[in-house]
Chain A
Amino acid sequence: MVEGRQVFDLLWLVPAIPLFGAIFNCLLGARAGNLIVSIVGCGSIGLAFALSVCIFRAFLDLPPEDRMIEFCVFQWIAAGNFLAPIDLLLDPLSMAMITMVSGVSFLIHVYSVGYMEKDKCFARYFFYLNLFVFFMLTLVLAGNFLVLYIGWEGVGLCSYLLISFWYEKRTAAAAGLKAFVVTRFGDFFFALGIMLVFVQFGTIHFHSVFEDPAKVIDSRMAMWIALLIFAGAVGKSAQIPLHTWLPDAMEAPTPVSALIHAATMVTAGVYLVARCYPIFELSPVSLQIVGITGLLTAFISATVALVHTDIKRILAYSTVSQLGHMFLALGVGAPAAAVFHLLTHAFAKALLFLGSGAVIHALHDEMDIRNMGGLRQYIPATFYTFTIGALAMSGIPGLAGFFSKDAILHATFVNGGFLMWALIVITASMTGFYTFRIIFMAFFGEKRWDVHIHHPGTVMVIPLVLLALLAAVGGYMGVPHVLGGGDRISNFLAPNFGNPEVHATAEPSNKGVALAAEDETAVVESEEAAESEKVLEGVTAETLAEGEGHAPAGSPEMLLMLVSAVMAFSGVGLAYFFYVTPEGREVPAMLSDKFGAVYNILTNAWYFDKVYKAVFIDTYMLMSEFFWKAVDTAVIDHAVRGVAGSLLGGGSIISSLQLGLVRWYATVMVLGAIIIILYI
C-alpha cells in the first residue's frame, strides 16, 4: 500500500513530462534534428503513458470508496476569498481519461513521426503536439474549475496552432481562427459558469462543490450553472449550434485531426459535463436540454456526413455525430455510458483518422473519395485496420462501438422515450452507411487515380494495428449484464456517478422528491417524472429484476440490441448496394437529382456557416466600422478638434497684436504704465 501511495505522489509528473518535452522541442528542437525531436516527443508521452498505467494498477488496488485522491501542487491565484490552487484530482473518471489520453496520444505521436517526416517544421509540430498533451492531461486531472479552465483554453490554443500549422494555406489560417473564436464563444459561457459557481458556493474546488450541491443551490440556480457549463462544452465538443468549426478544422495535419479533433480535445466537453454531473442532476431541465442538443447534433451531422466527398470531412461530421451520442447519453442519465462511448469512440475514430491519413499520404494529399478507389490491393494493412475501425464505429456486434452505443440506446429508450430512441437508431444506421461509403469508394471498385503510391512505413502501420486491436476488444470493458458481462466500466465509474443499475431510474425520482420538498414548482415536474417512470418501469421491470443475473433471450434489452444491430447492418448493406453492386451504382446520382433541395441543404451543411457569416460576422464588422468612422472619428475627435480649433482661432486674432518688434512692445508697456498711473 505504501508503494502505491508513492506512485500517486508522482501524479503531477503525468502532465509535467509532456510539458518538458514541449519545452525541449520548442527551445532546442530546431537545432536538434528530427531524430532527437521524435525521441523526445514520443518518449515523453510514452513515459507519461507508462506512469499512468502504473498509477492505474495501484489505483485498482484501492477499495472503491477510497478512489478519490487529491493533490495541491501550489497556490496559484488567491485574492480575497477567491482561491484557486493548482489542484489535481484522481478519481475513476480522470483515471480512465488520463490512461486513454496518454495512450492514444502516444500511438498518434509515433504515427506522426512517419507522417510528418518530410515536413520542414518537424520540431514545431512536436512542440505543439506535446504541449497539447500537457494541457489535455491538465484538463482531465484538474481538481478545481480554474485548473480545468487552464487545460480547456490550452487545448484550444494548441488546436488553433495545429489547424493553422501549414500557415501558408489561406484556408488553414481561416479555419484556425474560426476554431479558436467559435470555441472561445463557448468558453465565454463556461467562464461565466465558473464565476457563478464561485459566487454561489464561495469556492471552485470540485470536491467541495459536488459533495452536496443541493444544500447550497436550488434547481433554478443549478439550471443556470449547468447551462452555462454546458454552453462551454457545446463549443469545445462541436455541438449544434457551435459545431461549424470542426469540419473546417480538418485543415490540420491528419494525425492532429485524429488526436485533437476526434479522440481527445473534442471529448473534453463530454468530460466536463460528466464531471459536473451532480449539478446537472439537480436540474432535470438542463439534462433535457443536454439530451436534445446531443440528439439533434447526432442526427443533423450524420445527414451531412452522408453526402460529403472529402474523406476527412466525412469523418469530422461523424465525430460531431458521435459526440452528439455522448451528450444524449448524459442527457438521459447515463453518464457512465457516455464515458464508455467516449473511450471506444476515441479508439475507433483515432484509427479511422490515422487510416485516412495513410490513404491521403499514399495518394499524395488527395482527400476526395471520388478520386480514390481500389486501394484494397495497394495498401492492405491500412485497408484491414480501417475496416475494423469502421465496423467498430458502425456498431457491428462484437466490436467496441457496439457495446457503448448499445448502452446509450438502451438508456435513451428507458429515460428518453420512443421518439428519441427511434431517431438515434436511424442515426445509427446512417453511421453504418457513411462509414462504409468511405470504404467502398476508397478501397473497392476501379482505381480513379494515377500516382505512385506512398506506402506507409512501419512506424505508421504499428499504431494502426494497435488501435485496431483496441477498437476491436475495447468494448469488453463494458459488456452489459444481459450478455453475461460484468459491465465493469460502470462499476469502475460508480464512485463518480453512483450505482449504474439504480442510477437510470430510481436516482432521478429520489432527487425529484427531495427537490419537491424545497421547491413548490418542482412538485408538478417530479410527479410527472415519477409518472413516466412508472410506465417505463413496466417496460424495464424484467430487466431490472434480472439486474444482476443473466437475462433470458427476448428480454426488452436484448430486443433493443437486436434492432440497433439490424439497423447498423442495414446501413452497411445500403452502402454496399449503392457503391459496389452494379445495379445500385446509379441510385445516388438519381436520388440527388430527385431530391435536389434536400441534397443542397445537406451539401451546404444545413447553411449554418452562411447564416452565421451574414448574421454575426458581417453585422459585427459593420458595427465596428460604424463606431470607428461615425463615433470615434466624427463625434469625439471633432469635439476635441473643435475645442482646440476655437482656442487656436481666438489665439490667432489676439496674436496679430504681436508684431515681434521690441519697441512696439515697449511702447505698449509704457502706455499701459501711464494708464495705470493716471487711474491711480
Chain B
Amino acid sequence: MQPEVIQSLLQIGPTHYLVLGATLFSLGVLGFLVRSNIIVLLMCIELMINGAGITFITFCRQLGSLEGQVFVLFAMVVAAVEIAVGLSIVVLVFRNRSTLDADKMEVLKW
C-alpha cells in the first residue's frame, strides 16, 4: 500500500465520520429488523439517531454552519424523552403481558 494512501487513511477526515455514521445507522436498521426484544429495538433506534447525529455534525463542521448542531441537540432531547416514555411503556407492557417480544404485540392493528 502506498504510504500516501495510508497517510491519508490515518489522517482523520470527514469521510471517516460519515462512514461511522452510516455504519451505526445501518447497524441500527439491521438490528431493528432482526431482533424482536422491545428493549433491543429501542436501543437500535438510539443507534440510528446517533448515526444520523454524527452525519449531521460532520456536515455541519464541513459547511461551517450551526444549524446541524441545533438539529442534533434537538435530536438528543427527543431521544432522551423517547427513551423515558418508551421504557415506561415497555415496563407497563411487560407487567401486563409478561413478555418483551415485539412480535407478540399485534393488537393495535386497525
Contact = CB atoms under 8 A, between A and B. Distances in A.
A663 B32 CA distance: 7
Contacts of B110: 655, 658
Nearest to A654: B110
A661 interface: yes
A659 B106 contact: yes
Contact of B102 (A655, A658, A662, A667): A662
Contacts of A670: 29, 33
B33 A661 contact: no
Interface residues of B, number: 13
A403 B63 CA distance: 119
Contact of B103 (A658, A661, A667): A661
A666 interface: yes
B95 interface: no
Interface in B6-58: 29, 32-33, 36, 41
Contacts of B106: 659-661
Interface string A128-148: 000000000000000000000
Interface string B67-110: 00000000000000000000000000000000000110111111
Contacts of A667: 33
Nearest to B107: A660
B109 A666 contact: no
B102 A661 contact: yes
Contact of A663 (B36, B107, B108, B109): B36
Contacts of A666: 29, 32-33
Contacts of B109: 655, 658-660
B36 to A, nearest CB: 7
A660 B36 CA distance: 14
Interface in A272-296: none
Looking at chain A, what size class is its interface with the partner chain? 10 to 19
A666 B103 CA distance: 12
Contacts of B29: 666, 670
A667 B41 CA distance: 13
A660 B33 contact: no
Interface string A651-678: 0000100111111001100100000000
Given A666-B32, A670-B29, A670-B33, A660 B102 contact: no
A578 to B, nearest CB: 88
Interface string A625-655: 0000000000000000000000000000001
B41 A662 contact: yes
Contacts, number: 29
A660 B105 CA distance: 7
Given A655-B110, A670-B29, A670-B33, A663 B105 contact: no
A663 to B, nearest CB: 6
Nearest to B29: A670
A659 B109 CA distance: 6
B43 to A, nearest CB: 14
A667 B102 CA distance: 14
B56 to A, nearest CB: 18
B108 to A, nearest CB: 6
A668 to B, nearest CB: 11
B93 to A, nearest CB: 12
A103 to B, nearest CB: 79
A462 to B, nearest CB: 84
A517 to B, nearest CB: 84
Nearest to B45: A666
Interface in A15-48: none
A624 B84 CA distance: 63
B83 to A, nearest CB: 16
A655 to B, nearest CB: 5
A663 B105 CA distance: 11
A655 B106 CA distance: 13
Contacts of A655: 109-110
Interface in A229-274: none
A658 B29 CA distance: 20
Nearest to B110: A655
Nearest to B32: A666
A591 B41 CA distance: 107
Nearest to B103: A661
Contacts of B102: 661-663
Interface in A70-115: none
Contacts of A661: 102-103, 106
Nearest to B38: A662
Nearest to A660: B106
A666 B48 CA distance: 13
A659 B110 CA distance: 9
B13 to A, nearest CB: 24
A663 B108 CA distance: 14
Nearest to A652: B110
Contacts of B108: 660
A670 B109 CA distance: 20
Nearest to B109: A660
A659 B108 CA distance: 9
B33 A662 contact: no
Contacts of B32: 663, 666
Contacts of A660: 105-109
A660 B103 CA distance: 8
A660 B110 CA distance: 8
A539 to B, nearest CB: 96
Contacts of A659: 106, 109
A666 B30 CA distance: 10
B85 to A, nearest CB: 16
A418 B32 CA distance: 111
Nearest to A651: B110
A667 B103 CA distance: 13
18 contacts: A655-B110, A658-B109, A659-B106, A659-B109, A660-B109, A661-B106, A662-B41, A662-B105, A663-B32, A663-B33, A663-B36, A663-B41, A663-B103, A666-B29, A666-B32, A666-B33, A667-B33, A670-B33
Given A659-B106, A667-B33, 20 more contacts: A655-B109, A655-B110, A658-B109, A659-B109, A660-B105, A660-B106, A660-B107, A660-B108, A661-B102, A661-B106, A662-B41, A662-B102, A663-B32, A663-B33, A663-B36, A663-B41, A663-B102, A666-B29, A666-B32, A666-B33
Return the 3 tightest CB-CB contacts between A and B, nearest first. A660-B106, A660-B109, A655-B110
